Amino acid sequence: MNQLLDNILERPLAHKIGILVVIIILVTALYYSFLYIPRADEIAKLSDSVEIARNEKSVKSQKAANLPQLKKDLQQLDAELKKAVAQLPDKREIAELLRSISAKAQQVGLNVLLFRPRGETYQEFYAEVPVDITVKGNFHNTVSFFDEVGRLNRLVNIDNIGFKNPTVTGDNVVLETTSVATAFRFLDDAERKKIAEEKAKAAKAKK
């Protein structure tokens, strides 16, 4: 940040004012409009919805042999299950989700300087999949990128937003924007079992 301020202070007065105004606008817009902070209870509710729908579907599947109403209920539960699962992809779908995020940046005219997935962080029933992203472009392109990510039908959190290396070309200010995009995916049964076993071993080791 100090380097960024020094860079600004060394420029002519007109450039200083222009750059600072744009940066203030950018900070405000990103903070209030495009900081998608996932809530643990939101993910928990999705997981509960999936588990409840799966259990009800299983029970009614056994009873729905020749009962039209139960078959209708079963179809409704299946639709609700698909809707809940759609927001949290499974392991096979996460790679496609990450590719779509990168593609969104390119589609709005940003130059993707860095797109680096980190290791997954495992919770009880889901995994966090963080990706370090650095893009270069003007204010409009950056805003468009975050807007496109927000429109995805998957849960994606954008945080740790920063900017550096501003350059001025005419009335256009180009910035490098850094952020961390975190996607979320459901753990399969084997993964959940493994995590539960590891937690049990860790708890036992503390005793």
Query: Between helices 40-63 and 68-87, what is the axis angle to 10°?
Result: 150
* Each residue's pLDDT tens digit, 114-134: 999 998 888 877 888 899 999
Question: Domain for residue 166, yes or no?
Answer: yes
Question: Domain for residue 81, yes or no?
Answer: no
Question: Domain for residue 194, yes or no?
Answer: yes
Q: Is the pLDDT of residue 37 over 50?
A: no
* Each residue's pLDDT tens digit, 76-128: 777 766 666 666 666 667 888 888 899 999 999 999 999 999 988 888 778 88
Question: Domain for residue 84, yes or no?
Answer: no
Amino acid at 38: P
Q: Which domain holds residue 93?
A: 2-41+89-206
Give me the helices (H) in 10-154, please.
Answer: 13-33, 40-63, 68-87, 91-107, 139-150
pLDDT confidence bin for 64, thresholds 50/70/90:
low
- Name the pTM for this structure: 0.61
pLDDT confidence bin for 36, thresholds 50/70/90:
very low
pLDDT confidence bin for 155, thresholds 50/70/90:
confident
Query: pLDDT value at position 111?
Result: 92
Question: Domain for residue 98, yes or no?
Answer: yes
Question: Domain for residue 28, yes or no?
Answer: yes
What are the b/e assignments for 99-109, b being 16+ CB within 10 Å? ebbeebbeebe
Number of structural domains found in the chain:
1
Question: Domain for residue 101, yes or no?
Answer: yes
Q: 26: domain CATH number?
A: 3.30.70.60
Question: Domain for residue 62, yes or no?
Answer: no
Return d(Cα 9, Cα 150) in angstroms, integer: 34
Tokens of residue 70, six digits: 């139960």
pLDDT confidence bin for 178, thresholds 50/70/90:
very high
